[in-house]
Structure formats: C-alpha cells, structure tokens
Amino acid sequence: MSRLIRESSPIAKKNHDCMACEFIFSEGVSGFGYSFLELRAIANAKKNMCKIKKGDKYINKVVEHEGEIYTFRAIPSIHQICLDYDLYWE
C-alpha cells in the first residue's frame, strides 16, 4: 500500500524524467481510443524524450511504498491520461 507524504505542482528548475510516460509507453499507444488532445500530449512528450523541461509546471509527489520513500514526477497532461485510463499499478 502506498502513502502520499507530499504533493505539489512546482515549476521545473531543471529537466526531469516524466515517470508517467513509462506507464503510457509500456502499455503502448494504440488500442486505448485516446482523443486527439491526448494523442497530441503523448506526441509532445515523446518529442521531448519524456522529459519535463526547465520552466514547465509538473506534478511532484513524495510517496512511501512498502517502506521505501520515492519522488514521482510527471507532466500533468500525461499524468491525467494515466489516471483516466487506469494505467498506474495502484
């Protein structure tokens, strides 16, 4: 079970990997019936090599999972797609 410790939406001071992209691309893009706007967000993320660029707003969560503490960072539109299509494991 996971426990959320902290959540914020900061502006990136440097580039970060988008962890939500891992879930999108591991499931494959075809077959989900994504909308045009969702496909555009996915294409932009792929074009940027799944990076949160310096100056962009992003989702930042600190989570405890099975005794380990980790930071989850994601592009907001990609995170929302993962939530909408239930792509996250938990």
Q: What is residue 55's predicted lDDT score, i.e. its pLDDT? A: 98
Backbone angles phi, psi at 72, to 5 degrees: -110, 125
Rounded to the nearest integer, the mean pLDDT of the chain is 94
Tell me how far apart the alpha carbons of residues 11 and 1 are, in angstroms, rounded to a whole number. 29
> Do 27 and 81 meet the contact criterion of CB atoms below 8 Å apart?
no
pLDDT band at 90 (very low <50, low <70, confident <90, very high): low
31 or 87, higher pLDDT: 87
- At 2, the pLDDT band (50, 70, 90 cuts) reads confident
Cα 82 from Cα 67, distance rounded (Å): 24
Sign of CA dihedral 70, 11, 21, 32: positive
89 has pLDDT over 80:
no
Q: Check whether 43 has a pLDDT greater than 90.
A: yes
Banded pLDDT at 29 (limits 50, 70, 90): confident
pTM of the model: 0.91
Task: Please identify which residue in the block is written with the tokens 């555009």.
Answer: 40
Q: Look at residue 2 and give its three-state secondary structure.
A: strand
**Domain ranges within the chain, ordered by starting residue:** 2-84
Cα angle at 20 between 41 and 54, to 5 degrees?
A: 70
